Every structure is written in structure tokens, then in C-alpha cells.
Amino acid sequence: MRHGMKIGRTIAAAVFSLAISNFLSIGGQAQTPQRAPGAAPAKAPAAATSTGVVTANLLQLMRGTLYPASNVIFAAQNQDPAKIPPAKDPATASDPLASTYGQWLAVENSALAISEVANLLMVRGRKCANGRDVPLRNADWAKFVQGLRDAGQTAYKAAQSKNQDTIVDAAGTLSEACSNCHDKYREKPKMEDRCM
Ligand code: HEC
């Protein structure tokens, strides 16, 4: 089954993850210790965030990394990477599948790139395009990022197997990992409501 047809499963996963995040936030409130009057409000527990030099906002990061890398995985659903001919000049090809590091190797490397970009989604100091901070303090953000990291690993293993049925399933898993987070933080009628 091609990933675009897995809408039912995607919605089910999104509803489930919403239920989990509600559950977690209730649990979190119950555990908040009493604080003395006038004391600074307790900060939400920090997830495993990291430091780094930030040069792109979240929108630019998505467009520049996850978008092209995931398209390599999605393309492998429709065409057997082993049959993709090299470009006329593979060294300068802009399509990874037809490049020097092409075919299944391109699928492997794009899958690894996706898992690595998960780390960039946890770097402190990045803004969304609307100026809001990337919501690192929300527990479900880290959970969605982990889902992306895992989906990249699943796609990597599928690419190593060089089996197209396996990559079709992995592409479905990847597409769900993207939409689990987008459903909560991106799909808003107004840009200003993203990332909250
Ligand atoms: C942990 C959350 C999260 C995950 C996982 C995630 N995204 Fe995003 N993505 C966002 C948010 C939030 C935005 C909006 C960013 C903004 O407006 O600054 C976005 C925006 C985008 C955009 C730009 C949309 C536009 O308006 O132009 C693309 C493309 C995109 N994501 C692709 C992907 C793909 C492909 C994946 C999976 C391989 C993915 N994203 C996984 C949160 C996520």
C-alpha cells in the first residue's frame, strides 16, 4: 500500500497520541510540588534538549532538510531504486537517487539524515517562522521527535534490505511520524497559531 493511502491509520495514530499527551499533562499537574507564596513559577521539566548554533527557523529547516530527504524515501515506493539510471553526470546530479551515491545508497543516506535532523529539532533557541519558540517544553514535542528518529531508523533498515515491500511500509511509518507532529503544531488556519 502506498503511503498516501494510509490516511485511516494516520488519523488513528494522531488521535491516540493526543489522548496520550492529555494523559501526560494531567499526570504532570498532579505531580507539581506546592511552592511558597511569591516563589518563581516552577518550569516544566526540560526534555533532552541540546545546544547548538541555530541559523534557520523551523520552517526553513523543514523545507531544507526533511522535505527533500523524505521525498527520496517516498520515491522509492513507486520506483525500485535499483532500477534508477544514473544521471548524465552523477557527480553533479541534484536527485540523490541518480547521483554518485545513488539508488539504495541514496535511500539509506536520506533515512539516516532524517534521524539526524531529529537532533536539530531539539536544539534550544530555534524559532518558528511566526516568531514563537519551537515548543521544546511540551512533552509531546520530544515524543514526536523520537517518533521521527525511529521512523528514520526503520527506513534505514528497509533500505539496507533492498526490498521494495519493506520500504513501502517504512514510508508509511515515516509519513505518520511527520503528520503526528504536524496535526498538533502545524495544521492551523493561521500561521500565527503554529508551534503552540
Ligand atoms: C516534531 C514536530 C515535527 C515533525 C516530526 C515534522 N515536522 Fe514538519 N513542521 C513542523 C512544524 C511545527 C512546522 C511549521 C514550522 C513553521 O511555521 O515555522 C513544520 C513545517 C513543515 C514544512 C513546511 C510547510 C510550509 O508551510 O511550507 C514541511 C515541508 C515539513 N514540515 C515537512 C516535514 C516532513 C516531510 C516531516 C517528516 C519526515 C516533518 N516535517 C516532520 C513540525 C514537525
From CA 81, how far away is CA 106, in angstroms rounded? 9
47 lines ligand 1 (CB under 6 A): no
CA atoms within 13 A on the CB side of 127: 6
Determine which residue's CA is closest to atom 22 belonging to ligand 1: 62
pLDDT for 99-137, tens place per residue?
999 999 999 999 999 999 999 999 999 999 999 999 999
pLDDT for 139-160, tens place per residue?
999 999 999 999 999 999 999 9
Q: Tell me, in angstroms, the distance from the centre of ligand 1 to residue 29's CA.
A: 29
Q: Tell me, in angstroms, the distance from the centre of ligand 1 to residue 67's CA.
A: 8
**Helix 7-30 with 139-161: angle, nearest 10 deg:** 140
Q: Tell me, in angstroms, the distance from the centre of ligand 1 to residue 181's CA.
A: 8
8 A C-beta contact, residue 74 and residue 3: yes
**Statement: residue 59 has pLDDT above 80:** yes
Confidence at residue 107, expressed as pLDDT on a 0 to 100 scale: 98
Check residues 24 and 107 and name the one with the higher pLDDT.
Answer: 107
Confidence at residue 129, expressed as pLDDT on a 0 to 100 scale: 98
Listed by start position, the domains of the chain span 3-193
Q: Choose which residue among 6, 17, 62, 178 to substitute to test ligand 1 binding: the one with the highest number of ligand atoms within 8 A of its C-beta.
A: 62
Confidence at residue 75, expressed as pLDDT on a 0 to 100 scale: 98
CB atoms within 10 A of CB 81: 22
Q: What is the mean pLDDT of residues 47-74?
A: 96
